[in-house]
Chains A and B, each alone.
Chain A
Amino acid sequence: MTKAKAAKALHPAVKLKDKVSAGVRQQAARTLARKQTPIVPPDNIAARAMILVVAIMTFLSCLTLGAVTLVRDTAATWQTQIAREATIQIKPADGLDMEAALADARDIAAGHRGVRGANIVSREATTRLLEPWLGPGLDIDELPVPRLVIVTIDPVERPDFAAMRAELAEAVPNAALDDHRTWVDRLVAMARTTVTIGMAVLALMLSATALTVIFATRGAMAGNGHVIEVMHFVGAEAPFIAREFRRHFLLAGSRGAAAGGAAAIIVFVLFSWWSSRNVATPEGDQTAALFGNFAIGTSGYLGVALVVILIAVLTAATSHVTVMAHLKRIET
């Protein structure tokens, strides 16, 4: 051994370097050995098309779901807003002390359980209300104008309107209580119809999505028949083959569905942001009057997550059924 070689062999730094490089080589070899090609081939054109179809259908389903959630929430808001008030109307009559009658009516209403407050619409406010029809400079005393008491109602614990009506009829015969029942009933009917139509559209959309996803998955699976056959002929058990495909398609389906769901959420967030930026503008107010604040809420986001999970599971389940059907076919 030459001096230089001996020195190199003994030098601790050189020894350490050799050890490290040997370790790195070993680690690299282990990593390479561990990384096996998946048995199910990587995505081909049909599989990529399937992911795209899954993404588009998930996006549309989530949009429909969000729209239905929005309509349902808005319809509920319409109902509560209109049902939150009742009106007592007192018609003028000879010898009737209108102010006293108004005060009596207010007190009777306010004394009932479920009434949050009762306010007399003042002479000035009544004049302002009539101004668009009767013009300015109206003297309310010259005309037999009915007067109003606005009763604010607790939407959770509604008052007994029949009892209130009976009591009013006894104390103030000219008073008429309008609990807006006709309007509320109409609105409830309209809101229910709107939500039912929305639900029907959502059901159709989800059915179309399910069918499209099934056909797209079957299309993507069609190119894998030879893989199923080879695995079968080399002695793979059916559950093993099905598991490999299920895992692959669950992942692919999840990718597509997550992309579609995320895109739908982005759309809702953008709309919500736009409506919050346009709060005081006429367009914003108009949109808010129709659709509320455009937020789909926690239930909406949970619904989107559920749709994404369902579609991913549907993709995996379709691949499972296709594998089992293929195996059954080649065994007979």
Chain B
Amino acid sequence: MIRFENVGLRYGMGPEVLRDVSFHLPERSFQFLSGPSGTGKTTLLRLLFMSLKPTRGLITIFGKDRSRVTRQELPLLRRRIGVVFQDFRLLDHMTTYENVALPLRVRGREEASYRGDVVELLKWVGLGDRMHVLPPVLSGGEKQRAAIARALIEQPRILLADEPTGNVDPQLARRLLRLLIELNRMGTAVVIATHDIGLMEQVEARRMVLSGGRLDIYD
């Protein structure tokens, strides 16, 4: 589904943040992306999400060469990738329901056509009674679940989550992990970027460990 071959990336004239990174993310796979802070986890996620271009190497996403993806094709490809940002990136002036429905709204769909799906998804992530609340009123965990729901509303083929348990207590972290595992069982590939060892020990999954700009994979 997504393949990296000898990918390298540097910001401007600085040193290479990622060096010779090669891996393959198959359909329906589940993996952790870990490593100490500042080793390039978020950068790697941005490459996966096509918000950065590599300085060298080849990235193939859904069978397309990243370097040949045009600006017009980018949003269409991106709709197949769900992202949960570390800082949630919810729009504060919109309700939880509207935030989750945003990916469908920007596609120009009528609200009546997706209302039921959004409500159902919000109930699934446990925000059924918080759908008309503005994000500043939500707790950290609720924001996290709203961000996950927004990433899932378009039924992406892969979900990228950046430190999804970084702002929540261990109990809620376990709940969120269960949510992501359930999602994976339903057919979505999942990549969780985290440095929370405790979280990783709860699931038998492939580990992609970044260190010094290089990637080691432990299946």
* Chain A interface residues toward B at CB < 8 A: 33-34, 36-37, 39, 41-42, 226-227, 229-238, 240-241, 330-332
Contacts and interface: CB of A to CB of B under 8 A. Distances in A.
A233 B78 contact: yes
Contacts of B79: 235
Contacts of A36: 98, 105, 111
A226 to B, nearest CB: 7
Given A36-B105, A235-B106, A331 B71 contact: yes
B111 A235 contact: no
Contact of A233 (B71, B89, B92, B107): B89
Contacts of A37: 93-95, 98
B115 interface: yes
B30 interface: no
A237 B91 contact: no
Contacts of A330: 51
Contacts, number: 65
Contacts of A230: 89-91, 102
Nearest to A230: B89
Nearest to B95: A37
Interface residues of B, number: 31
Describe A's contact surface by its main secondary structure.
helix
A174 to B, nearest CB: 87
B51 A331 contact: yes
A177 B157 CA distance: 96
B103 A235 contact: yes
B112 interface: yes
A234 B115 contact: no
Contacts of B85: 233
B36 interface: no
Contacts of A41: 91-93
Contacts of A331: 51, 71, 74
Given A233-B83, A234-B102, A237-B75, A42 B93 contact: yes
Contacts of A33: 111-112, 115
B150 interface: yes
